[in-house]
Structure 1
Amino acid sequence: MRDGGGMGIWIINEKGQWQYGGGKKDWARAAEIAGGCPCFAPDHEDEQTAEEEISCYNCRFRRWTESSFTCMKR
C-alpha cells in the first residue's frame, strides 16, 4: 500500500510500519519532508547521516531498514 502524502512516497511494510519509498539517498526530498514535519526531532549527532540538519535521515524517530527507513511517528 502506498500513500503519496503530497511530499513523498510512503509504503506500509509487512510489519504495518510506514516505510519511506525514496531509499537511503534521497537527500533533498528527505529534508523537504522533515522541514514540514511537526514531529521532527534531531537524533544524536553520531547517528546523523545527512548534511542538512533537518532531514528525515537525521531524525530520532527514523529507524533504518535494509533499503530505506521507517518513521515511528507517521
Structure 2
Amino acid sequence: MEMILQDHFKFDLDTIAEAIRPMVETDPSIKVKSIIAEVQSRFNYTISYRKAYWLAKQKSIAKVFDGWKYSYQTLPW
C-alpha cells in the first residue's frame, strides 16, 4: 500500500472504513487504538481518536451490518 501524506485530500472516511472493515467484521468491539495502529501501519498516516472511532468505525460497522436500523430489526425478540 502506498504512503499517504498527513494532508492528503483523498484520504477520507470511506477509505479508512474500507481499510478497517475486515477488522470490524472479525471483532465489532475492536479497540480504537488498534484501529489507529492499523491505519498508521498500512498508510503511515495518524488519524485522530474522533476520526478512528466516531466516524470510521461507525461507518464500517454500518457497512458490515447493513446499517443500524436493519441490524436492530433483525434481532430476535
Q: Looking at both structures, which has the greater relative contact order when contacts are Cα pairs under 8 Å and sequence separation is at least 6? A: 2
Shared fold (TM-score, shorter chain, > 0.5): no
Which structure's CA Rg is the greater one? 2
Bigger helix share: 2
What TM-score, normalized by structure 2, do the two folds share?
Answer: 0.28
